[in-house]
Amino acid sequence: MKINIKRYFLYLCRWQLSTPILAVVLVWLSGFNKWIATVIANLIGGLIFFWVDSFIFKSRYLSSQWEVKENIRCSDCGKVARGYRLVKTANYDKSEDKEPEFRCERCSKKKSDSLRAKGVKV
């Protein structure tokens, strides 16, 4: 399993933000039974943090954007196969490329490795 460090860091920050918010709710509900107060605090936390977690784990802005097409001719080896191209990531943007280059899976992995070697965050 490949961990996206940016997402993981945001998730850890989000986790820390839940502590004071839930603590405030528990203080407000201190007159209730502690189990009921905890359940209500967790429901409130779920209502808030579901949306934050959805952004963290589904956002296109936090991950590399790839384009995939079927039956392309690989720009490196010429093989006809499913094609991949990296469109955009933190320090790489080919979204306006007039002649995009698609690569088969094997050549795409090689290209990704060469981009990583140049400091591109793939």
Top mean-pLDDT range of 4-8, 25-29, 60-64: 25-29
Q: The whole model's pTM is what?
A: 0.49
| Helix extents (H) in the chain | 5-28, 34-58, 105-117
Q: Give Cβ neighbours of residue 24 (< 8 Å, ≥ 6 apart).
A: none
Who has greater pLDDT, 57 or 36? 36
State the pLDDT at residue 7: 77
Residue 1 has pLDDT above 60, yes or no: no
The per-residue pLDDT for range 67-91, each reduced to its tens digit, is 899 999 999 999 999 999 988 877 7
The per-residue pLDDT for range 92-121, each reduced to its tens digit, is 788 888 999 999 999 999 998 988 888 877
